[in-house]
Every structure is written in C-alpha cells, then in structure tokens.
Structure 1
C-alpha cells in the first residue's frame, strides 16, 4: 500500500473512531437529557476520546523506536525500566497518602494522592530508564542495555511488592494502575499528551535515517557516518519520554507499543521516516478502538482498557506466530 493510501486510511479510521468515541459512553450509545449533554460530551467523552488516541500514539511511537533500536520485532517501549519505575513511584505515593490519611482529613489526603500520582508515575518512569542507562554504562551496547532493563525491571518490581506488603492500602491503587485506564483523562491531560507527542515526533524525525542505518548493524552504521552511541542515547531518551508521558496519564496499557509497529510494517515501507509516524497513528487507532470496546461491551460497567489491549495484542501475535510457522 502506498504511503498516501495508508495515510488516507488511517485518517478515515481515526475520524470514524473519534466520532464513535463522542457517541459512546457507559450509559450506551446515547446522551443524557439536554441539561447534561454538553457537560458529558465536551468535558467527559471528548477529552477521554482524544486522550486515548494520544496515549496510543505515544506508545506506538515508542514501540517503533524500541524495535528499531534493538533490531528486535518483539521489543516494546516498557523494556528499559519505565513501567516498573512508574509502578513503584505510584505505589509509594499511594502508601504515603494512606499514611497521611491517618494524620490529615480523608479529603485532603485524597487530593494529595490525586495530585501526586501523575507526577510520580512520570518521574518514576524516567528514573527507571536512567537507572537502566547507568547500569548499562550508556547506550552503546544494545544487548547490555536490554539485559540492564530486565534486571532493573525485576528489582523495581520487587521493591514495589515490598512497599505493597508494608502498606496493603496501596494494593488496590496499584492494581488499577497496572490494568490501565483512560477514564480519568481530561483536557489538561490531553494538553500534556499532545505536547509530549509533538515533542517526541520532532525528536524522532531527524534520527530516522540513522535508525535505518542501525538496523543494518553498528559497524555498517558507523561506516555510513552515524555516531552510534549518541544516536542510540537520543533514541532511548525519546522512547523514555514518550513512554513516561503515556504511562503517567493512563497507567500500564500493554501490547499497543508492540502490535502497532507490526501492523505498520505491513502497510508502509521499512524506512523509519514513514514507519514511526505510521506506528504512532496505528497505536492511536488501536487504543481508541479498545477504549470504545471497554466502554460498551458490558455497559453500564467498564472493562479495564489494558486488559482488552492485552487480549487483542496477544491474540494478534499468536496469529502472527502461527502464520510464520506455516510459512
């Protein structure tokens, strides 16, 4: 499929899903009476719908960078410690708010918790990636970087479990964060997500040709004049920023960053100048579709959107592996 046709198809799918997102809610495919319709439409559904697309786009972009960086189609943006770092930070804030609840009024403690969760998740994600880079002594060796990310993930995950044991009140909040949700996205969150997407796209675009060269191997990339260490560090920083912004606002939404680049490669050329924006657009479409399903499948109740993305993404990858085995 040509890039123009791909862009037109993605644009049409995005517009259709955005309109569906405005029409769908926990009460079904309808709006409440006129007195509440504007509030529900523009202050609840509209920011949630746009925010879901933006979160998916950030994860799709991070997945494309991760798979190109590690030259591995199974790489995802959570590999370098961003996810366990964010989870640990959220658990610590929840534990602190539970402790503060015994000193402060419940209302004040709850306000402190809501204010601190987003900032803590963002800082924790960046701290996890920084710890991975420190352990790997930079980003020169991708295998060492990947192993460092796995080690950091296990370590921070264990610390998160210990913190939960020390403060059992944080367990419910941790579970909600791990399941992922777009239900709390408002216009301020959309503003931050849009700024993060524009910034990471602007950072990823100049590195596209260098990323193409890196997929051929470090020696080939160096022979083409690519500063391997510097470019890889820039890619890690861009991926970490995209992942941190998305995770801070919506929690752990898995498989979008893994599946979106796979789907994009079936539609566009392997050049990252096309693959990165296509992966971002497809990530937005995938998460927005999952969010619509989460709202409507068992309405008026909602499913955690992270569960749906895991089911859909895992099913897609199983189908892909089965096709490859047959081939």
Structure 2
C-alpha cells in the first residue's frame, strides 16, 4: 500500500517529464542532428511569430514542417490508442482485451486496402484515411449488431466471437487485395499495415486532436460508471446504471477513436494493450485516474517508439508499428503467463 501511494504521488511529474523528453527527442532525432533548445525555440517562433531561434532557414523547415507535425500526431494517436484500450479493458473486465477485438482495426485495414488498391495513387492519398475510418466504424457496428439479442441485450462473449469472425473475413479480403495489387499498391499497402506517422497533414492533425479531446472528456464523464461495471453488469444495474446504453455508447466511441487513429497512422499495435495495463498495475483500476494517465503514457510511449524507429537504422526509417510490436509482444506473453498463474492458483 505505501508503494502504491508513492506511485500515485510521483505519477504525474514522472509521466509529464517523460512526455517532455519524448517531445524533445522527437524534434531533435533523425538523420539531421539539431539542438533541443533551438528546436523548441523554432516551434515557439512558429506558434507566436517571434525570431528567437538561431537555426538556419533549412533547419527551421525540417523542424516546423516535418518533425513538429509528426510529433503532434504521435501525441494524439498515442493518447487515442491508450484511452480506447483502457475503456475496452474496463468494458470487458479483462486486462487482455484490445480494441481490435471488436473489429475496428480489421475493418479499418480493409477500408484502407480497398482504397489503396482500387483508387489511383493521386486519389488514394485522400481516400485511404476516409475509407479506413468508414471501414472501422461499419465493422464495429456490424459486430455490435451481431452480438445483440432479440431482447436488446448484448453478450460480451458473442461480441468477442463476432469480432474474431469479422477479423477473419476482413483478413481474407485484405489478402485478396494484396494478391491482385500492383507493385506500387502492394508496397503502400504493406507499409500502411505496419504503421507510420508520415501522414501528419493539417487535416489529420486537427481531426485526431479534436477526437482525442472529445473522447477523453466523454470517457472521463463515464469513468464512475466504468468503475461500477468492474463489479459486474448486474451490480452496475442495481446501482442505477443503464449498462446496455453504456456499452453501446462506449463501443461506438471506441470505434470512432480507433478508426480515426488507424486512418491517420495505419495499424499500430500494442499501445492500447500495454499502456492501460501498466497504469492499472501500478496505480489501481480507478478510471478517473486511469484514463488521463493512460493518455499521457500512450503519447509518451508512441513518441519514444517513433524516435527509435527513426534512429535505429538511420538514415533508413523503420515503420513505427514494428517497434511497438517488439515492445508489446513480450509484454503480452508476460500477461498470458500471469493470467495462467492466476488461474492455476484458483
């Protein structure tokens, strides 16, 4: 108990410092090494129209037009993935739950694959994010509809099974699209499926920022209801919570958040699984604390993963999804072993 109290006191300053370090590294890391302080001054100059930075015009372009938008996108996407993962785990009362189980990621991947293969290159740049978002939302609604009984109740087990079935179907269609794609479409499809933060356009930045802010406010509003849901659906209903409405709202909100994240950056795995579980292990399951801390941690972790992707094989750049998979896969195995040990002691 004393350790958990200490963690709670140090969580905000520690995670805030980690986030600042991630931002500085994101601005300064890459084939061109730049001063951290001067890079921050360049961002200040761009926002407030001052002239404090001593970097050359070319270096300022690298910071302001390339690295700063990418940093912002990593912040928003990392936070989005983490809070959606935290809500999914709370909704299903399972630390191994992931937003992908309700079909969002697979549906978004299908939409992106169709846009990349069918549309010409000049148009697919704009069509891919839209198609990914629509695909994620449609498959999530389909999975939710399949899980609903005639009485309007939603079975979590049927929801999970429906998500697996939809993911298998969309995987088969994506495989077919990969088979018939030309060389350029095949390369774009492969890179998009591994995740990247190169698509930091002003539209995607504003969209992801607005979605992240709205979902964080909405999820925080639902935090007490999520805490009650951890006790079980029957117990939550006795406390006056409309569990069916709550599940429906959270599933649709999560579909929107993950759909926008996937449409902006491709499929980046394990952030939504690892981050909420880490916060829950150290600070407890209270969603009022879990959600904002997950947002900060997810943003910092994706920033650091993107930095590693840029410097690991510099001047070449790894897809950031590969880096998060290298981090997340061993942690997922650790969770499985932990779950097995817990079940063996029952």
- Whole-Å separation in 2 of the counterparts to 1:272 and 1:304: 31
- Whole-Å separation in 1 of the counterparts to 2:73 and 2:274: 19
Give the superposition deviation at 1:268.
2.0
- TM-score, normalized by length of structure 2? 0.86
CA contact (8 A) 1:43 1:186 kept: no
Q: Which runs of 4+ in 1 moved over 6 A?
A: 323-327
CA contact (8 A) 1:48 1:183 kept: yes
Query: What are the superposed Cα offsets for residues 199-224 of structure 1, whole Å, 9 maximum, x if unpaired?
Result: 11121112111111111111111111
Unaligned runs of 5+ in 2: 40-54
CA contact (8 A) 1:44 1:186 kept: no
Q: Quick one: structure 1 residues 321 and 123, their matched pair in 2 at CA, closer, same or farther if it must change by over 3 Å?
A: closer
* RMSD of aligned alpha carbons: 2.1
Aligned to 1:124: 135
CA contact (8 A) 1:28 1:300 kept: no
Matched residue pairs, number? 316
- TM-score, normalized by length of structure 1? 0.90
Aligned to 1:88: 110
Aligned to 1:106: none
Aligned to 1:8: 13
CA contact (8 A) 1:128 1:152 kept: yes
- Whole-Å separation in 1 of the counterparts to 2:312 and 2:99: 28
- Whole-Å separation in 2 of the counterparts to 1:217 and 1:253: 31
Does residue 136 of structure 1 match 2:158? Answer: no
Aligned to 1:104: none
Aligned to 2:178: 164
CA contact (8 A) 2:137 2:255 kept: yes
- Name the SS of the counterpart of 1:181 in structure 2: coil
CA contact (8 A) 1:77 1:243 kept: yes
Query: What are the superposed Cα offsets for residues 255-291 of structure 1, whole Å, 9 maximum, x if unpaired?
Result: 0000001111133231111111111211111111100
CA contact (8 A) 1:200 1:241 kept: no
**Structure 1 residues 109-118 or 229-238, which shifts more?**
109-118
Aligned to 1:65: 87
Query: What are the superposed Cα offsets for residues 288-311 of structure 1, whole Å, 9 maximum, x if unpaired?
Result: 110000011111011111011001
Query: What are the superposed Cα offsets for residues 160-211 of structure 1, whole Å, 9 maximum, x if unpaired?
Result: 2223333344332221111000122133322111101011112111211111
**Structure 1 residues 316-325 or 179-188, which shifts more?**
316-325
Does residue 218 of structure 1 match 2:219? Answer: no
Q: Quick one: structure 1 residues 249 and 119, their matched pair in 2 at CA, closer, same or farther if it must change by over 3 Å?
A: same
Does residue 182 of structure 1 match 2:197? Answer: yes
- Whole-Å separation in 2 of the counterparts to 1:249 and 1:157: 20
Q: Quick one: structure 1 residues 325 and 126, their matched pair in 2 at CA, closer, same or farther if it must change by over 3 Å?
A: closer
CA contact (8 A) 1:263 1:282 kept: no
- Whole-Å separation in 1 of the counterparts to 2:80 and 2:224: 20
- Name the SS of the counterpart of 1:267 in structure 2: helix
Does residue 229 of structure 1 match 2:244? Answer: yes
Does residue 147 of structure 1 match 2:157? Answer: no
Aligned to 1:311: 326
Q: Quick one: structure 1 residues 142 and 315, their matched pair in 2 at CA, closer, same or farther if it must change by over 3 Å?
A: same
- Whole-Å separation in 2 of the counterparts to 1:56 and 1:168: 32
- Whole-Å separation in 2 of the counterparts to 1:297 and 1:44: 19
Q: Quick one: structure 1 residues 74 and 225, their matched pair in 2 at CA, closer, same or farther if it must change by over 3 Å?
A: same
